[in-house]
Amino acid sequence: MATNIGPISQFYLLSPRGDSIIFRNFRGTIKNSTSEIFFRNVKFWGGKQQDAPPIFNLDGLNYIYIKKNGLYFVFVTTENVSPMYSIELLTRLTKLFKDYCGVLSEETIRTNFVLIYELLDEIMDFGYVQGTSTELLKAYVFNDPVVVDYKKNGFKIPDMNPKTTPSTAVDKPIQFQEKGKKRKNEIFVDIYEKISITFNANGMVLNSAIDGNIQMKSYLAGNPHLKLALNEELVVGKGQGGGYGSVEIDDCNFHECVNTEDFDSGRILSFLPPDGEFTVMNYRITSDFRTPFRIFPFFELVSPYKIELIVKVRADIPDHNYGGNVTLVFPVPKSTSSVTSDLGVGVVGQAAEYDQKERKVIWKIKKFQGGTEQTLRAKIVLGSAHTTTVRKEVGPISMTFEIPMFNPSSLQVRYLRILENASYNPYRWVRYVTRSSSYVCRI
């Protein structure tokens, strides 16, 4: 990174409650009380209970922050630094902390604060960046990470297929090795896809898109050369005329370590994996694909003082798959006095509540099995008389979910090979995860 963009005066990492977990004053030109000023303004920006923009100025100081896993990563400077430079640097710090601690959480940061300070001292010198490479920093960092017991500290471990994904192995620090045990040679490939879909009131798709990426984390000894092969029927470029069974993506880009010489002919990527987690490939799809869930709202104005809204959701995913931690939220009119939710008889693993402060109904489904259908009936009582125009004040319905071992694009890893003659047979783990980005249904 170039060092002529301006120095950073302070860096701190705050908990969701505003506690200062990590604090470093690089130049000593600013008072240490800025963290309190930042947290007060980031939660109540402009005198209202709303989040502040990622970059703002107060009393001549520039505050730049990102929020990751509930934690605030903040730069403070008196200089007119490049905004994108600062955001990118903060993002790289979160990646480094995750690589060296295994998991990015308040508990792991507090447990490994000595290691975090050692990393910061190597990364920044008097507010100027010296390097952010996980691999190069290993030569200068000597503190061993302390691994947090996930179950002991209440971390949620998702239920995955044990044949393809171990529970928490991918969250080990890059330098981690259990005492008395030989380091296990493993490599993890994660295909993440975020879906954005907008439905109309009839449940028809208005627009849809997939933002996907292939992430990798290597624990292989000797850093061997790897080859990753994708679908042979993969077509890059919208409207390029892929045949039956082909996977069509609009565009893609690759990590700088990836050699794409064989990508056009055989859809093969070769590379030397760097230390830590990295993104092998990003891709985007806007063509039609099978939506994992369909939402069907039914609105009825029973009387001028009463509305009934029935929300039916159908899981159009295979029976052996499921959506985890599914949540549907929709706003109700400002004049609403009460909401009664009915989930049906004998329903388990579901809950519906009305948040009176936010004027929203929240419906949570712990596990939504593929091929099934769930229904919520909400009876909304209004404090004043309304006409059919009140429909505009209800909705839209937004949905969040995560589906393990499923990806709607059908992008697949054909094989992952080690090119050198390694003296070991590594474990190869491949996982597919689909998450909602913007999943909205209009009413």
Structure tokens at 356: 């009176």
* pLDDT tens digit sequence for 342-373: 998 888 999 999 999 889 999 999 999 999 99
Closest CA to 85 of 52, 106, 105, 62: 62
* pLDDT tens digit sequence for 98-152: 989 988 999 999 999 999 999 999 999 998 999 888 888 888 888 888 887 654 4
Compute how many other C-beta atoms are within 10 angstroms of the C-beta atom of residue 202. Answer: 9
Question: Of 243 and 158, which is predicted with more confidence?
Answer: 243
Structure tokens at 362: 């929240």
Residues 6 or more apart whose Cβ sits within 8 Å of residue 207: 196, 197, 198
What's the CA gap between 334 and 342, in Å, rounded?
Answer: 21
Structure tokens at 200: 């109309």
Question: Of 424 and 209, which is predicted with more confidence?
Answer: 209
Global confidence as pTM? 0.77
What's the CA gap between 387 and 341, in Å, rounded?
Answer: 22
Candidate ranges 153-162, 344-353, 412-421; pick with highest mean pLDDT? 344-353
Candidate ranges 167-171, 354-358, 375-379, 388-392; pick with highest mean pLDDT? 375-379
Residues 6 or more apart whose Cβ sits within 8 Å of residue 90: 64, 65, 66, 73, 75
**What's the confidence (pLDDT) of residue 48?**
80
* pLDDT tens digit sequence for 25-82: 998 888 888 999 999 999 888 888 788 999 999 999 999 999 999 999 999 999 888 8
Burial class, 423, CB count within 10 angstroms (exposed 0-12 / middle 13-18 / buried 19+): exposed
Closest CA to 116 of 38, 64, 154, 107: 107
pLDDT at 422 over 70: no
pLDDT at 165 over 60: no
Residue with tokens 């996930």: 150
What's the CA gap between 313 and 374, in Å, rounded?
Answer: 5
Candidate ranges 40-49, 112-121, 270-279, 380-389; pick with highest mean pLDDT? 112-121
Top CATH class, 10-137: alpha beta
The ranges assigned to domains in the chain are: 10-137, 179-289+407-438, 293-404
174 and 276 in contact (C-beta within 8 Å)? yes
Q: Are domains 179-289+407-438 and 293-404 of this chain identical in fold?
A: yes
Q: What is the CATH number of domain 179-289+407-438?
A: 2.60.40.1170
Question: Of 282 and 203, which is predicted with more confidence?
Answer: 282
What is the band of 389 on the pLDDT scale with cuts at 50, 70, 90? confident
What's the CA gap between 174 and 118, in Å, rounded?
Answer: 16
Closest CA to 374 of 314, 323, 310, 443: 314
**What's the confidence (pLDDT) of residue 160?**
41
396 cis-preceded (ω within 30 degrees of 0): yes
Q: Tell me how far the alpha carbon of residue 46 is from its chain's centroid.
A: 28
Question: Of 193 and 180, which is predicted with more confidence?
Answer: 193
Average pLDDT, whole number, for the chain? 87
Radius of gyration of the chain (CA): 25
Torsion of CA 276, 281, 283, 289, to 10 degrees: -80
Q: What is the CATH number of domain 293-404?
A: 2.60.40.1170
Contacts of 24-27 spanning 24+ positions with Cβ under 8 A: 24/117, 24/120, 24/124, 26/124, 26/126, 26/127, 27/126, 27/127
pLDDT at 155 over 70: no
**What's the confidence (pLDDT) of residue 418?**
85
